[in-house]
Amino acid sequence: MLGLDPALAGATGYGVVESDGRRCRMVRLGALRPARPATAAERKRANADASDVASRANAGANRVAARAGAGGVAAGADGAAQRATGASSVAAGVNDQLCRIHQLVCDLIDEFAPHSVAVESVFTALNRKTALRLAEVRGVVLLAAAQKGVPVRSYSPREIKAHVSGYGNAGKEQMQQMVRALLGLVEIPEPADAADALAVALCHIQAAQAEARLAAGFALARRGERGGKLAARQVSGRAAHTANVASGRAANVAAGPAVAAQSPARATRARASAASEPAPQATPRPLPAIPVSR
């Protein structure tokens, strides 16, 4: 089971948990942090490149302004070039982080071959900008799982807390202690993003076990219902047979006096018919031949 705690601005936690139905064991945990901030030399080089781009844009804008006779166009072009440069750098950083998250999920699925992937869903109380960023990360995770053919389940933070700690409003420290206890760890898993990912994986394992027990209960109830119907049919058949036997006996008992009254006349007629019939004559048996000696 692969659990993920997606984040774009912060670290994206991941955790791999193995379960045999009774115990859970941690296999891997970690967090993918955003790319490190640029050093002073890198920022200086980037600023030089941006200045070069801006100077070229200004030169082009000045030529356009000289032809059009509008000197204010150059200043506007300068600001637009700087804003475009900053926006492009931010977009490049976001795209790079999304690519890294996609590659991470693909590598984890290839290495551990999980049965499913569990992801924390977007918290609806967050502001719109943060929700959109988390949605982008979730989209990347769903894409990677779909490409590998692994099903994905999403759980809200309240569901995760309820499954792991038994309380939907549990704090972060309580959740970390429960994760440590359920996995049999000596220390609290670090970093915190990885612990959250382990909690997501444990939530999915417990939810899947609960669904399996519920399905087994329904199947047993259906079998019991079919068995009850069969037993009811057998009981009704036995009852009908007993009623038929009882009705036959009652009919015989009711017809008993009439049969008893008719029995002397039947006996007299039987004796008369026997007397009228001629007695059978015995057939003489032939004597065996005796051989005569000469």
Side chain identity, residue 6:
P
Please state the pTM of the whole predicted model.
0.59
Token pair recorded at residue 78: 């300068």
Which residue from 153, 154, 33, 37 is spatially nearest to 100, judged by alpha carbons? 33
Contacts for 158 with CB less than 8 Å, ≥ 6 apart: 168, 169
2-220 topology per CATH: Nucleotidyltransferase; domain 5 (3.30.420)
C-alpha dihedral sign at 84, 86, 90, 96: positive
Alpha-carbon span 64 to 280, nearest angstrom: 151
Q: What angle (nearest 5°) sits at the alpha carbon of residue 159, between those of residues 158 and 161?
A: 65
Task: Report the alpha-carbon distance of residue 105 to residue 98 in Å, rounded.
Answer: 11
Cis ω for the linkage preceding 191 (within 30 of 0):
yes
- Beta-bridge partner residues of 12: 32
Question: In tens digits, what is the pLDDT along the chain, a chain of 294 residues?
Answer: 899 998 877 889 999 999 988 889 999 999 998 876 555 565 566 566 656 656 676 676 677 666 665 444 444 445 544 554 444 555 567 788 899 999 999 999 999 999 999 998 876 555 777 778 888 889 999 999 999 999 999 998 899 999 998 888 888 889 989 999 999 999 988 888 999 999 999 999 999 988 888 888 888 888 777 766 776 777 777 777 777 777 767 666 565 555 455 556 666 676 666 666 665 665 666 666 666 555
End-to-end CA distance of the chain: 120
Which one-letter amino acid corresponds to residue 36? R
